[in-house]
Amino acid sequence: MSFDFDAMLQTIKDKQWSLADIDWDAPGAETVTDELRAKMKPFMADLVWIEHVGARGFASLATKAPTPTIRRIYEYFHAEEQKHANAELALMKRWGMLDEDGTPPEPNINVKLAIKVLDEYGDGLPLTGLATLIPLLECALDGALVKFLLDEVSDPVCHQVFRHINSDEARHITVDFQVLELIGAGPLHKLVIESVALLKPQVVLGLIVVFVPLINKMRDNIVAMGLPEQKLYNAVKRFATIGSRGDFTQRIPAYHVLRAQAAMVVDRTSPYHRLLADPMVRLTSLVPARLLGKPQAWVDELTHEPIAS
Amino acid sequence: MSAVTSTTASAADYDGLLLQGGQWRGRSFTGLRVAVLAPGREAALIVPDVVRTARSVKVFQEEPDWLVAWHLPLPRLLARPAARLSLRWSVPDPWTRRRLTPDGRFNTRRPRVDGRYYAALRQPGCTLITWPVYAFVPDGVRSAEGIEHRVDCIVLGTSSVFATASSREDVPA
């Protein structure tokens, strides 16, 4: 079953692309009408920030990687998620969604909470927790959001950018689940110890306050745009589908917890929405952002400029 | 132990001034935008020197290493906590500090004595970049966060993953 992580690292290096490869002034920006621009702007802002936060998640994951090769792969994934955020910001600039200076949009409160939690606790989370959470986020948010975008926008530059992004994401998901297989195949006592470590109140609370409303808030935004939420649910289902293919992933307790959560997320009739997730969206919207303090400097690393001198 | 596998990128694709081995020593970089590509232990030697005269310096640090400001007669066990303290004192910004912290599991080198690197990184015009570089282009380098960094001069450390076999030599740890 052993997966060749060295070969994967080489593929990742070979498949690198740059914002400088793309002609950001090519025709097609005019296909984004005023109406579409207004509708898409908050969606794009969320997308940029989710990629950016995902990048930070990989940075934490790198500190827990089981081997030097996997660590290097995560360092590349950290950079690639940042590249996706940069490219999406460049699309926003191309479509006239940013000001003259290209200042990145302000993140919503749920993203700000995610930033706070990652800064405070990200590097302290055990490998099993982060390694399970990140593929769920990637399946759910990235997968679904990107598909919405391509359905809505006909700009060829957008499609060119997302061909690159999708190809990167396919590798991310492959590695994410191969690492779960590797963890799952490890000794049982290690799985149990790491799982118990995950029951720390700040971790459980972090999941409820940050992750639960983040997904539902995104669903609300998608529904507000008039898009079928079923697509988000299909993407969440992928997490369970791919995970169930592995031989060892199912030995990981955190995987079962998140899979159960994913099942509740996709079931619109589940009391999960009524009693937990939707109230959490309303509750978190009341949190004053200034309470969260100043985020770490990585949040300022977004840029839409393909060339820096 | 290093996870860096073979790389297909070649510094020969860069058209500007490329300095390898010890060619950066005793040189003036006045008016130049310089990129330094090296692991931390070697960047610690190069950057303080380059930053004195260059217009701007981008430090593409390939891997962080432990540094201590002074030579202290400490047992091996205490060398790393001393380096950690030194980093804590010298670099107030937590995100920069994080990027200068080696992975203790895979980087087993002893701390190197250097009191100038962290201060040099705080000079105006000096930027620490930890994104992996994946290609050289005529005007500079491209790194994996999707940006092309244009520079007038590239200083390639002898321990850099891009150093050619002939220019590579081991830097004492």
Burial grade of B98 (CB within 10 A; 0-12, 13-18, 19 or more): buried
Report d(CA A128, CA A64) in Å as an integer: 9
Looking at the domain assignment, is residue A25 inside a domain? no
Contacts of A65 (CB under 8 A, 6+ apart): A71, A73, A74, A127
Q: Is B136 helix (H, G, I), strand (E, B) or coil?
A: strand
Asked whether residue A294 is assigned to any structural domain, the reply reads no
Report pLDDT for B125.
Answer: 94
Collect all residues from A whose CB is shorter than 8 A from any CB in B.
6, 9-10, 13-14, 16-20, 59, 62-63, 67-69, 71-72, 75-76, 79-80, 82-83, 86-87, 119, 123, 296-298, 301, 303, 305-309
* Contacts of B75 by beta carbon, 8 Å cutoff, 6+ apart: none
Neighbours of A191 (CB within 10 A): 19
Q: Per the structure block, which two tokens stand in for A207?
A: 């999941």
The reply to whether A188 falls in a domain is: yes
Q: Are A43 and A221 in contact (CB under 8 A)?
A: yes
Torsion of the alpha carbons at A23, A25, A30 and A35, rounded to the nearest 10: 90
For residue B167, what pLDDT band results from cuts at 50, 70 and 90?
Answer: low
Q: What is the pLDDT of residue A139?
A: 84
Give domain status of residue A238, yes or no: yes
Q: What are residue A173's phi and psi, to 5 degrees? A: -65, -40
Q: Could you tell me if A263 and A273 are in contact, meaning their C-beta atoms sit under 8 angstroms apart?
A: no
Tokens of A46: 């969320």
Tell me what the mean pLDDT of segment B90-110 comes to.
92
Mutate to test the interface with B, among A9, A18, A127 (most CBs of B within 10 A): A18
Please count the structural domains in chain A.
1
Residues of A in contact with B33 (CB under 8 A): 309
Per-residue model confidence as pLDDT tens digits over A100-120: 888 999 998 989 999 998 898
| CATH code, A173 | 1.10.620
B38 neighbors B159 (Cβ within 8 angstroms):
yes
Is A297 among the domain residues?
no
The full 3-state SS of A24-36, as one line of letters, equals CCCCCHHHCCHHH
A78: containing domain: 5-19+32-288
Q: Quick one: pLDDT at residue B79?
A: 87
CB atoms within 10 A of CB A190: 13
Average pLDDT, integer, range B124-135:
96
Structure letter (DSSP) for residue A207:
I
Is the pLDDT score of A3 beyond 50? yes
Q: Which residues pair with B150 in a beta bridge?
A: B140
Q: Which sequence spans correspond to the domains of chain B?
A: 11-156
Residue reference for tokens 């970049």:
B129
Q: Is A52 domain-assigned? A: yes
Please give, rounded to a whole number of angstroms, the shortest distance from the CA of B1 to a CA of chain A: 8
State how far Cα A41 lies from the chain centre: 18
Dump pLDDT digits (tens) for A127-173: 888 899 899 888 877 677 777 788 889 999 999 999 999 999 999 99
Is B7 a residue whose pLDDT tops 80? no
**What is the rounded CA–CA span in Å between residue A120 and residue A56?**
12
Please give the radius of gyration of chain B, using alpha carbons only, rounded to the nearest integer. 16
Cβ–Cβ under 8 Å, residues A77 and A9: no
Q: What is the DSSP annotation of B46-110?
A: HHHHHHTTBSEEEEEESS---EESS-----HHHHHHHHHHHHHHH---HHHHHHT---TTT--PP
Of chain A, the end-to-end C-alpha distance in Å amounts to 46
Probe site for chain B from A5, A11, A81, A82 (most B CB atoms < 10 A)? A82
Cβ atoms within 10 Å of A170's Cβ, excluding its own: 11
d(CA A70, CA B18): 31
Q: What is the pLDDT of residues B33-70, one digit of tens each?
A: 999 999 999 999 999 999 999 999 999 999 999 999 88
pLDDT > 50? residue B83: yes
CATH code linked to domain B11-156: 3.50.50.60
Residues A16 and B144: beta-carbon distance below 8 Å: yes
